[in-house]
Structure 1
């Protein structure tokens, strides 16, 4: 049963005019900012759709629905410690959402019905804070099935206007658990025109990825029955912020691999024959090569990206003494400033050649530093990762130098465009590599 939502006229409501979408680029939000945003959510007007039949495509409203099997327990009504009970906790804590795409911040002590939430939307290095409020809760037990779920409605300042249902259902006859997501939405409030353009370009793919990963994460967490959400409020805040993390969160790359493995599980029984430690080590070496290539293109970008990533993941198992040093606030800000300065200086005609002995050695050293951080705790793996990062940095520097040399005779515009393209490629590789690091 859905309550009728009244949408106030934004032209007559001063609160709507003062609602502004907060956004950052290449950096997250402080605990204080999140707390301030969370406190303002309930004061903003709702932008949810009206009751049917007005929420139709002719009125600009779009629908997106996905449903998937996520687990099974013994037939009959749900038990107190079964998969359905765990699923309820995961659903209420927003743990099914991939935090690399949408992270939820809220007070876990607040009642579910009426709970304000701040969703941190992440795309291409940009982060947007968008407010929603849980407006309805469904908790039903019938003869043939049991269902639990809730709906949240967007508030002014959200880049989307709409409502979304999340429902977990158990079939008493088979014991199957089904997870359903149903959204009604249309474009909402954007902080600037280019955010609206970018949203139109990436929205469809990002929505599909998020829905697919939500089902995969729910299934993964229900299979790992001992892994419940870990509440980790910020030490500077103490309350009002909730990061629904788990100890083994599947990232986008892991989810895709897992989807393939689940689809071909019966036909490929040896798909996971390689030991997990070996797979993890090879993956870290690959990431060291990728971040080493970034330092070859832009010597300070790789360390700056890794430093910011470490600050955002203080409990990650890759932490070592080197990682602790790189994550200090002073060094993190210094690396960021140096990275921005390098981006500007690279476009100047007087910029030194990257193939000179000193700049090339510096790029190799930065690649080695990145490899030491990503190599993990085992000394042998770290040495290999450091060497891979250094060699990758040198190789990428040589390749980029050759490309720039070919572009130079074509004029200053072509050379400048090549430099900008190099910036985009370096950032894209680094961002993708760190997203794959779990």
Structure 2
């Protein structure tokens, strides 16, 4: 019998990050995929972000994990609550397989940086993979507004590599399809956020167990109960 989802999310608090940062980019790049995916979302008036404007609206969608393509990746987490320190249970989906993967948001970003076209206001957050995840690495979702032009971008910045996988079939499957699925997820996330901005959904509401399921409005598939599910240690 599967444990309640709330118990699986609660179990993440005891799991450590599954790699040493001293052995990861930018210190070490050999053996790692380093990705940067960017999409222009539109423009605001120049200057700091407008209340209720494009950057602020996109930021809320990113914070709620609405941009994720539910056919590839879904999430469960406690909300409301602090963003930094939030544990998220991700469910990776591939054919008849489901993979429960733990991550933790370890950094929040809200600052002005020097960009290629002048100063930028950058907001967003980063998560790192936890023990039992099929990958090791850090992924950053950020939104940047060029203060002089008003141009707004959505950026996905990541470094990752395959984690040790003991199951030989899972190891082979990840080697064959993992990278392709990862890149497809990035591409879909960029496009999905731009589409959601045309008619942003309402803020998520937690269920009786205190968890938000993201993206919102997604129901379990008809044959979900018959799929194979692999849980990380501790879930």
Bin of the TM-score, shorter chain as denominator length: 0.7 to 0.9
- Once the two structures are superposed, residues 2-42 of structure 1 have per-residue CA deviations (whole angstroms, 9 ceiling, x without a partner) of xxxxxxxxxxxxxxxxxxxxxxxxxxx96x53212211212
d(CA) in 1 for partners of 2:215, 2:26: 38
**Higher helix share goes to which structure?**
1
Q: Which residue of 60, 75, 81 maps to 1:104?
A: 75
Partner of 2:206: 233
Q: Which residue of 2 aligns with 1:64?
A: 35
| SS across alignment from 1:243 | strand
Name the SS for the 2:102 alignment partner. strand
TM-score (norm 1): 0.47
Moved over 6 A (4+): none
Matched residue pairs, number? 219
Q: Give the SS at the match of 2:4.
A: helix
| Structure 2 unaligned spans of 5+ | 227-235
Deviations 1:38-71 (Å, cap 9, x if unpaired)? Answer: 11212112124424554311xx222122111122
1:168 counterpart (127, 135, 143): 143
How well do the aligned residues superpose, as a CA RMSD in angstroms? 2.4
* Number of the residue aligned with 2:94: 123
**Candidates 57, 66, 89, aligned match of 1:86:** 57
1:192 maps onto 2:163 in alignment: no
Matched, 1:210 2:185: yes
Match of 1:114 among 85, 96, 101: 85
Structure holding more strand per residue: 2
| Larger of the two Rg values belongs to structure | 1
> Hey, what does 1:136 align to over in structure 2?
107
Q: Does the 8 Å contact 1:48/1:163 carry over to 2?
A: no
- With over 3 angstroms needed to count, the CA separation of the structure-2 counterparts of 1:182 and 1:49, relative to structure 1, is farther
Q: 1:189: how far off?
A: 4.4
Distance change in 2, residues 1:311/1:175 (3 Å): farther
Greater RCO (CA < 8 Å, at least 6 residues apart): 2
TM-score, normalised via structure 2 length: 0.84
Q: Which runs of 5+ in 1 are unaligned?
A: 1-28, 250-307, 313-332, 337-438
CA contact (8 A) 2:135 2:162 kept: yes
